[in-house]
Amino acid sequence: MNRFFIVSLMACLFACATVPLTERRSLNLVPDSEIIALSLQQYKEVLGKSKLSQDEEKVQMVKRVGERIARAAEEFMRESGREADVQGYQWEFNLIDDPKVVNAWCMPGGKVAVYTGILPVAKDETGLAVIVGHEVAHAIAKHGNERMSQAMLVQLGGIGLSLALTQKPAITRQIFQEAYGITTKVGYVLPYSRLQEAEADRIGLVLMAKAGYDPREAIALWERMSRRESGRTVEFLSTHPVPETRIENIKSLLPEAMRYYKGDR
């Protein structure tokens, strides 16, 4: 039997986690404490190289929406019996002043950045809640850890995997940097697979609903995003499913999300 297959099978058996809400089993080889520490370091570096917005009204909107989504995420995880999974999260929401970048992201551990270029697409707080909810969903689903773990399996292979896991954090830091593509202009977001994107949409709708934002407005947001994409490349959509597919999927998810919506809080 192929040695790489054996090691991969052992990794799946001993390092599997489940994604909130979907209950899909995912591979998490990197300890949360380590990936959060690396994320914090990267976040500080990004902010240090970026120009933060001085528009107080917009800054406060980002923080207000972010804090509501974060509270909803913690409440959702607590109700799901998974409070420990977000125990080390240190939520932080910053608005980066770059009107040319239509993007937002959330690092493992709760560090969030929104670029001013995405605000016209968001249009209002509810539109922004769709975006932030989606990105926070990636974080609590530990999609970043999963992508890093997959990269470790592919990049290191076979016997090298067990060796690499004994050499953390150096090897993990290297893979973390490669997975996040830190040498690119806006390469601070993992190239999530379509499966992860669908999970983030589903969880994100629940989070925004629990935060008091109407999840039905997600359809309008993605329609605006689709129109924006037709004009030029949008980083936020660069590795995502086509908007038409996403919108149809979101429509099918709305009945579930609406069960969590109690109106504006």
Q: Which of 260, 138, 142 is nearest to 211 (CA)?
A: 260
Annotation marks residue 56 as catalytic: no
pLDDT of res. 230:
55
pTM > 0.85: yes or no: no
Mean of the per-residue pLDDT values of the chain: 82
pLDDT bin (cut points 50, 70, 90) of residue 67 is very high
Q: Cis check for the bond before 191: say yes or no (omega within 30 of 0).
A: no
Q: Quickly state the pLDDT bin for 187 (edges 50, 70, 90).
A: very low
Domain residue ranges of the chain, discontinuous segments joined by +: 3-192
Q: What is residue 172's predicted lDDT score, i.e. its pLDDT?
A: 59
Token pair in block for residue 67: 């804090």
Residue 183 has pLDDT above 50, yes or no: no
Distance CA 250, CA 246 (A): 6
Question: Residue 227: its pLDDT value, please?
Answer: 84
Annotated catalytic residue, options 135, 146, 229, 235: 135
Across 164-189, average pLDDT:
50
Distance CA 45, CA 78 (A): 31
Taking a C-beta distance cutoff of 8 angstroms, is the pair 37, 190 a contact?
no
